[in-house]
Amino acid sequence: MNTNWVRALRTAMVLAQLTAVTGLASAGELDLAFDPADFSPGTAITNPYWPLVAGTAFVYSAQSDEGCAVNRVRVTGDTKADFTGEYSSIVAWEVEDKEWLDPQCSGNYALMETTLDWFAQDNAGNVWYLGEDTTAFDHEDECPSAAGAWEAGKDGAVAGVVMLAAPRVGDSYRQEFFEGEAEDQAKILRVDAPVSIGIGDFAGCLKTKEWSALEHGAVEHKYYCPEGGGLMLVEELHGKTVRVELTGNTLPSGTFAEVGVCPH
């Protein structure tokens, strides 16, 4: 039997294909085994639900009781290739994620968090998450804070999948795991969801439910639209629903601090 086919069988893409043809597999919790042989170093992230093209940026805006928030996700074009253990051969793409908050919605935004995330796409099209280097400035007791930072292969942390190659309704999967710091999970709710936001209307979107075992009651619904080029909308459902919408690729008017300041 071809060993490459055996490895590919572990991926969600092939599982979905087998289900359609034979009915051997059913939707549910996926146990996606990480295998470095399933990766080709430097492979571009082209998954239509979460494409990460070097030089592109996504800007999201939201308004809540805390004020006006802006989040910019930027694909830097840099890579990380110094992972350890079974991840030592992986070359991951670096994504910069910055979050600002303006409590008065006056156009003066303070930097709340800055993060470098690392992603790699396997040969089947699944996008894996290999960790983050994060610094937050909104904690009273510990500031700046690196809570939530982790790297696959260190201290028991393991990579997870942030986007399946062939998502099916009912599929659930682990997005990351570093005990006590990063334990996000996701489940596919729809593959044909409509999305209507300020920049347009989109169809055929993937709707997920995403949550963390470390944040009781905090749930997000996320909408990924191939037509729009990725994540378009986040509904934060912890208490009053907050909509985080894609607004374009540039920051809105205002002043955005590049240096975080801890609370006094």
Tell me the per-residue pLDDT of 44-63, one tens digit each, with 9 for 90 and over.
999 999 999 999 999 999 99
DSSP assigned state of 86: G
Q: Which residue has the higher pLDDT, 19 or 232?
A: 232
φ, ψ for residue 17, nearest 5 deg: -65, -45
In the chain, domain spans: 3-78+90-256
CATH topology for 3-78+90-256 is: YmcC-like fold (2.40.360)
Closest CA to 97 of 66, 130, 57, 126: 57
Q: Shortest CA distance to 245 belongs to which of 21, 59, 91, 65?
A: 59
Question: What's the maximum distance between 2 C-alpha atoms anywhere in the chain?
Answer: 64
- Residue 9 confidence (pLDDT): 32
Tell whether the model's pLDDT for residue 19 goes beyond 60: no
The answer to whether the beta carbons of residues 193 and 207 sit under 8 Å apart is yes
- pLDDT at residue 264 in the model: 66
CA dist list (Å): 168 to 46, 59, 72, 122, 246: 19, 28, 29, 18, 24
Percent of the chain clearing pLDDT 90 (strictly above): 72
Closest to 128 measured CA to CA, from 84, 188, 179, 173 = 173
DSSP letter, residue 216: T
Q: Residues 145-163: pLDDT tens digits?
A: 888 899 999 999 999 999 9
- Specify the range with the lowest mean pLDDT, choosing from 109-118, 154-163, 175-184, 192-201: 175-184
3-class secondary-structure state, position 44? coil
Whether the CA torsion 124, 121, 157, 188 is positive or negative: it is negative
Residue 7: pLDDT over 90: no
**Averaged pLDDT score across all residues of the chain:** 88
Q: Determine what percent of the chain falls in helix, strand and coil, rounding each to the nearest 5.
A: 10, 50, 45
Give the pLDDT of residue 14: 32
Cα 233–Cα 239–Cα 245 angle in degrees, nearest 5:
15
Average pLDDT over residues 1-18: 36
Closest CA to 192 of 208, 172, 207: 207
pTM reported for the whole predicted model: 0.85
Tokens 């089947």 belong to residue: 124
Kindly report which listed range (35-49, 163-177, 212-226) carries the lowest average pLDDT score: 212-226
- The Cα angle at residue 66 between residues 62 and 72, in degrees rounded to 5: 35
CA Rg value for the chain: 19
